[in-house]
Structure 1
Amino acid sequence: MIDAIEVRGLSKSFRAGHKALDEVNLSVAPGEMVALLGASGSGKSTLLRHLAGFVAADRGDSYVRVNGREVQRNGRIHPKVRQVRAEIGFVFQQFNLVGRLPVITNVLVGMLPRVPMWRSLLRHFRHDEVRVGMEALAQVGIDHYARQRASTLSGGQQQRAAIARTLVQNAGVILADEPIASLDPESSRKVMDTLAHINRTRKVAVVVSLHQVDVALRYCPRVVALRHGRVVYDGPAAALTESMLRQLYGADVAELLPVEGGRLVASPPSLAAQPMAAAA
């Protein structure tokens, strides 16, 4: 079976003596949901941007492949990376929607890799394409906002619109860079429910960068933890311990998640394992 994501020997230096990524190796199977954990500056966002081919790694023996297709190798972005990127949905922390445009138009931007240039420039989409966009909005629970300007939506609704854009894109891999960092708890829950629902029903590999340890435990069976650009833990979320979190964050673990006897307290059963309720 071809891995959804395969990374070998990935390093990135932004200034002398500091490596944002240091010999990262990672494999993600199709249909996996994986949380990236680590303190600010640990390399989570940098890794995601390398996976999408937004940034080239340092020169050296390394590569990144998504769905078996090369994104970059030895510090060079593949010449046909746009074709690979068409299969990668990227959910940004700040939504990346055009506020003055209707929500449905923002969602249909996900079709641009498959739409002729003249139609994309004129924002001319066929009825069948609009129907696909509306179905995507319905799946994330905000189809009734389709004709409103994106700027009128709440932060959580805008993030779900961004996720709908990846559905229209028909992405085989979704990379989410701290998608709930600026959201309130209820909006965060709805966004994570949406990602988990897509992962479960479409068998799409999802890699989500998070600061919230409890959220990672609730939604992601597997955790990859970074510290100073290196992978220091890659395994079951349930096996994380207080000492591991101290190593990662250098903080009082009680501030991150309650623990008992050095073991993380189990989170409630994930809503990801249940049918997603209609989002308000």
Structure 2
Amino acid sequence: MATALEIRHLSKCFTPGHKALDEVNLRVEEGEMVVLLGASGSGKSTLLRHIAGFVCADPGAGSVKVHDQVIQQNGKLARNVRALRCQIGFVFQQFNLVGRLPLTTNVLTGMLHRVPLWRSMFKWFTREERQCCMAALAQVGIDKYAGQRASTLSGGQQQRAAIARTLVQEARLILADEPIASLDPAAARKVMETLARINRELGTTVIVSLHQVDIAMRYCQRVVALHQGRVVYDGTPARLTPTLLRDIYGPLATELIAHGAPEPQVAPQPAFALE
């Protein structure tokens, strides 16, 4: 199986004496759906931003490859990193949509890397491009809102629009940074079902960072847990024991264990027509 992501000895220090990432090694195969677990400040978001090439590692500290292409190495971004980012879709916690623009325009921005500048400036997209946009919106279940301003949609709908943007981008790797942190349980479920369906049916590699252990168990086949910038667990959700949870979450693990560790579940198989 081909490798979607390879990270070697990646370290990052924002302040002296405190490593946000500490010798991280990680390999993800194409078609995997992986969850990054960990408490706030464990390094999940920092790791995702290094993978996307938004942040440079410390000088001489490690490398990141996506589909065998170097994103960064030894603290320097690849010269062609902008071109390489085209294959990486990033779903932010706060959606990153322009509220005053229609949903279609927001989603169509995902294909700007292959649209001539003069057309993008005038928001002129071809019929085929708009059909692609509508198909992506239909895949995530919000095509009936295509003409509405993004600001009129709920948080869950906006997050699914952000996922649709990665579909028109034709991203081979989707990175989702706490995509359900600000959503209610029903909206969070729909967002995770959408990501799981894209992974399962399109074969897109998905790496999602979460706080919620129960959701990780329900939707992801592999858990990579971080604590103080280090990988402390890499395996199946079923093997997350109370001891491992203490290593991952520290004092917060007591509350998780008190409520009982959730049993692993089979990921739901919803149709894309989510309301």
CA distance in 1, matches of 2:192, 2:63: 30
Query: 1:265 aligned to 2:262?
Result: yes
Asked whether the 8 Å contact 1:6–1:28 carries over to 2, the reply is yes
Change (3 A) 1:142 1:257: farther
Asked whether the 8 Å contact 1:225–1:233 carries over to 2, the reply is yes
Change (3 A) 1:21 1:158: same
SS at match of 2:167: helix
Asked whether the 8 Å contact 2:246–2:254 carries over to 1, the reply is no
Report what 1:220 is aligned to. Answer: 220
CA distance in 2, matches of 1:265, 1:14: 35
Asked whether the 8 Å contact 2:214–2:262 carries over to 1, the reply is no
Please report how far the alpha carbon of residue 53 of structure 1 lies from its aligned counterpart in structure 2 after TM superposition: 0.2
Deviates more, 1:247-256 or 1:31-40: 247-256
Asked whether the 8 Å contact 2:138–2:272 carries over to 1, the reply is no
Please report how far the alpha carbon of residue 2 of structure 1 lies from its aligned counterpart in structure 2 after TM superposition: 3.2
Please report how far the alpha carbon of residue 266 of structure 1 lies from its aligned counterpart in structure 2 after TM superposition: 0.7
Please report how far the alpha carbon of residue 222 of structure 1 lies from its aligned counterpart in structure 2 after TM superposition: 0.3
AA aligned to 1:265 is P
Asked whether the 8 Å contact 2:238–2:264 carries over to 1, the reply is no
TM-score normalised by length of structure 2: 0.97
Asked whether the 8 Å contact 2:43–2:228 carries over to 1, the reply is yes
Please report how far the alpha carbon of residue 235 of structure 1 lies from its aligned counterpart in structure 2 after TM superposition: 0.8
Asked whether the 8 Å contact 2:12–2:20 carries over to 1, the reply is yes
Q: CA RMSD in A?
A: 1.3
Identity %: 64
Deviation string, structure 1 residues 167-194 (Cα, Å, up to 9, x no partner): 0000000000000000000000000000
Report what 1:278 is aligned to. Answer: 273
Asked whether the 8 Å contact 2:10–2:57 carries over to 1, the reply is yes
Please report how far the alpha carbon of residue 253 of structure 1 lies from its aligned counterpart in structure 2 after TM superposition: 3.8
Asked whether the 8 Å contact 2:7–2:65 carries over to 1, the reply is yes
Alignment of 1:1-280 (within 5 A): 1-251=1-251, 253=253, 255-256=255-256, 264-271=261-268, 274-276=269-271, 278-280=273-275
CA distance in 2, matches of 1:266, 1:6: 30
Deviates more, 1:236-245 or 1:84-93: 236-245
SS at match of 2:251: coil
Asked whether the 8 Å contact 1:257–1:265 carries over to 2, the reply is no
AA aligned to 1:140 is V
SS at match of 1:256: helix
TM-score normalised by length of structure 1: 0.95
Please report how far the alpha carbon of residue 254 of structure 1 lies from its aligned counterpart in structure 2 after TM superposition: 5.9
AA aligned to 1:33 is M
SS at match of 2:3: coil
Deviation string, structure 1 residues 243-275 (Cα, Å, up to 9, x no partner): 111121123546336676xxx33144321xx24
- Segments of 5+ residues of structure 1 without an aligned counterpart are none
Change (3 A) 1:63 1:42: same
Please report how far the alpha carbon of residue 278 of structure 1 lies from its aligned counterpart in structure 2 after TM superposition: 2.0
Asked whether the 8 Å contact 2:10–2:21 carries over to 1, the reply is yes
Asked whether the 8 Å contact 2:37–2:210 carries over to 1, the reply is yes
- Segments of 5+ residues of structure 2 without an aligned counterpart are none
SS at match of 2:27: strand
Deviation string, structure 1 residues 174-229 (Cα, Å, up to 9, x no partner): 00000000000000000000000000011011000000010000000100000010
Q: Aligned pair count?
A: 275
SS at match of 2:266: coil
AA aligned to 1:53 is G
CA distance in 1, matches of 2:196, 2:20: 29
Asked whether the 8 Å contact 1:31–1:204 carries over to 2, the reply is yes
